[in-house]
Amino acid sequence: MPEPWATTRTEIAGIAVAELARRFGTPLFVYDQAVVVERIGSLARFDHVRYAQKACSNLAVLDLMRRHGVLVDAVSAGEIHRATRAGYRPAGTPPAIVYTADIFDADALDQCARLDLHVNCGSPDMIDQWGRRSPGREITLRLNPGFGHGHSRKTNTGGKQSKHGIWHEQLAECVARAQQYGLTVAGLHMHIGSGTDLEHLSRVCQAMETAAVEAGPQVTSISAGGGLPVPYQAGERYVDLDAYYERWNATRLRLEDRFRHPVRLEIEPGRYLTAEAGYLVAEIRAVKRQADNTFYLVDAGFNNLARPILYGAYHPMAITPADGDTARSHRDVIVGGPLCESGDIFTQEEGGFVVARRLPEARVGDLLVIENAGAYGFVMGSNYNSKPLAAEVLLRSDGPHLIRRRQSVEELLQGESIPAPPTDHAAPHS
C-alpha cells in the first residue's frame, strides 16, 4: 500500500465506494480478497500458515483461508464451530484445527474431546483437565518466555504481567505433569505480542530453542506465533520476511540436528493476513464546530471498530465526496461516532488523548472510509447503545458479495424476555 495514504478515496478494489454504500448501507465492513491471498502467499516459505481467526472470523474469510491451504487456530468453542462450518476437518497431520487458550470452559473442553482436537495448553491446569478427559494424546504447550512486545501495553502477551502462556520456568514441571496422563508434549508455541521486530524475534528464537531442548526430542513442531507488524501510518514498515524466516528456520535446523528428526515450523498470523484487506465505510451525518475544533460525526462508532478507544490505534482515513469533487481543500478535524460516550472518537491516541487529523472538507452525506480495518474490527463489535451489528462484504474478481447481512432490530432483541408480573401483589422493587 502506498504511503502516505490518500485522504480521498472513490474506489475499493475497483468498485465505487458510493455504490457499495448505496447497495449495502452503512456502517459497512468491506474486505478485498486479493489482499488476503497476497498476504498468504508472502508466508509460503513456512511449512504451515495457521490463521488466528480471532482477527476476522466470518465464515467466508475462513473458507478463503482453507481453500488457500491455511490451517486455523481456535480460542473458544464458538471458533471451533466456525472452523468446522467453514469446512475444516480436525483430523490430519498437522492438525487442521488447534485449540489455543489459557483455560478450558466447559463447552470448549467438550468440543475438543468430541472432535479429538489438538490442544495448545496455556496453563498447567489445562494439562490436568485435558489429561483427565483425553489421556494419551499429543499436545502443544504455549510458553511465556518472560518478556513481551506490543504496539500497546494491552497487546503485549509476554512477560510477568501477561496472563498468557505457561511461565518458562515451569516447563519441566509441565512436561512431567503431561507424562502422568500419557500426554506427549509434541509442540511448543511462543507468541510475545503484536508488531514483533527482528530484535525481539532473535530473543524469541533463542528462548524457543532453549525450551525445546529442555522439553526433549519428542518435540516435532514449533510455532512462531503471530505478531507480524502491519503499517498503519507513514514511517511504519513491514518486517523483513526473509530475515524473519531465516531466524526461525535456523532455530528449527539446529533442533532437527539435535533431535535427529524433522521439526515442522508454523507461523500463526491474524492481523497480518486481514488488516489491510479491510475497510469500514461510514456516512458523515454531522459537521460540528466546538470552540476551535471541527468534528466529523459518522454513523459508525466504537461499537463497530474498537481499536482506537482500546489502544489509541491509528487508522488511515479518507473521504469519499458525494459530489465526486476530489480537489477539496483540507482542514484539521476530529472524527467521532454516534455513541453516547465521550470516548467514541476515532482520532485518539493511547490514553484517550483526542487529536485532529488532516482531511478534506466534508459535508453531510459524504462517506468516510476507515482503512486497515480488516482485523479486530467486526469481531470486536458490540450492540452498545442498541446499535445493530454492521454488514460485511467480500470483494472478489466477480464483484461484491454480502457475507453477513446487517443485524435487524428483531435480531437485536432476540433472546430477551420480560418476566410475567408477580402474582403476590408485592410492591415492585425500586
Which residues are marked as active site?
340
Strands 184-190 and 221-223: parallel
CB 156 within 8 A of CB 109: no
Instruction: State how far Cα 231 lies from the chain centre.
Output: 15
Q: What is each CA distance from 162 to 102, 144, 224, 252, 314, in whole angstroms? A: 11, 8, 18, 26, 24
C-alpha cell at 204: 524469541
- SS3 letters across 11-70: EECCEEHHHHHHHHCCCEEEEEHHHHHHHHHCCCCCCEEEEEHHHCCCHHHHHHHHHCCC
CB 124 within 8 A of CB 174: yes
Strands 357-360 and 28-32: unpaired
Please count the CA atoms within 13 angstroms of the CA of 388 that sit on its side-chain side.
18
CB 274 within 8 A of CB 230: no
Strands 264-267 and 221-223: parallel
